[in-house]
A and B are shown apart, each in its own frame.
Chain A
């Protein structure tokens, strides 16, 4: 079975540019999570969806960040405009358990560098 798929795996962009990260969750999973990992702040939950509906976006750092889940098999995380402090590894995870109480399956991550 395919795991969580993320694209691109690496992204280098310049400050001010729009960045879109993509995620395909495991088929049949009904929860999807976006995380950001940095050395300074560790792993932070940005937003999570249940059945395509955003449940908690309190971790989204600023209005520059937005996430969508138009259907059960696809989600995007957009940063516009990007800033150097957004440089991090962004992970997508999915879960079959619904909500925050089950095992999460992580994608390989997107390493974002904003120059």
Chain B
């Protein structure tokens, strides 16, 4: 079974809206990472948040981490059609695991 689970599995929004994706995991982590995958492409690293950090920003991306709840969220603000992709959380849960992903569709 996956160590990381994203929620929702799919999300469809209009351009300009914010998109929030959540990740829950089961064991303790050193850090948690978020990746993006465009259809038919390799994964692209977006952001890494360490276990002692609560929030991190990178451009239009904001990631939060709640180690007590074993959950993380990725917020994309002012979404664009080019943000359409699958988004995965990943972490070193004794072994490196990727979650099942959220498919984001941003409609122009």
Chain B residues in 8 Å Cβ range of A104: 33, 43, 45
Smallest Cβ distance from B27 to chain A, in angstroms? 13
Interface residue stretch chosen among A61-69, A73-81, A106-114:
A106-114
Interface presence of A56 (CB below 8 A): yes
Smallest Cβ distance from A22 to chain B, in angstroms? 15
Smallest Cβ distance from B34 to chain A, in angstroms? 10
Q: Tell me the bound Cα distance from A1 to B96 in angstroms.
A: 26
Interface presence of B87 (CB below 8 A): no
Which interface residue of A56, A59, A106, A107 has the most chain B CB atoms within 10 A?
A106
Q: Are A103 and B92 in contact (CB under 8 A)?
A: no
B contacts with A, residue count (CB < 8 A): 19
The answer to whether residues A103 and B96 also contact, given A42-B2, A42-B101 and a CB cut-off of 8 A, is: no
If over half of A's interface residues share one DSSP class (helix, strand or loop), that class is named, otherwise mixed; here it is loop
Q: Are B95 and A105 in contact (CB under 8 A)?
A: no
Interface presence of B25 (CB below 8 A): no
Against A, the Cβ 8 Å flags (1 = close, 0 = not) of B72-108 are: 0000000000000000100010011111110000000
A-B contact pairs, 21 of them (CB 8 A): A42-B2, A42-B99, A43-B43, A43-B88, A45-B95, A45-B97, A58-B95, A91-B42, A93-B43, A100-B92, A100-B96, A101-B31, A101-B92, A102-B48, A103-B45, A104-B33, A104-B43, A104-B45, A107-B42, A108-B42, A109-B41
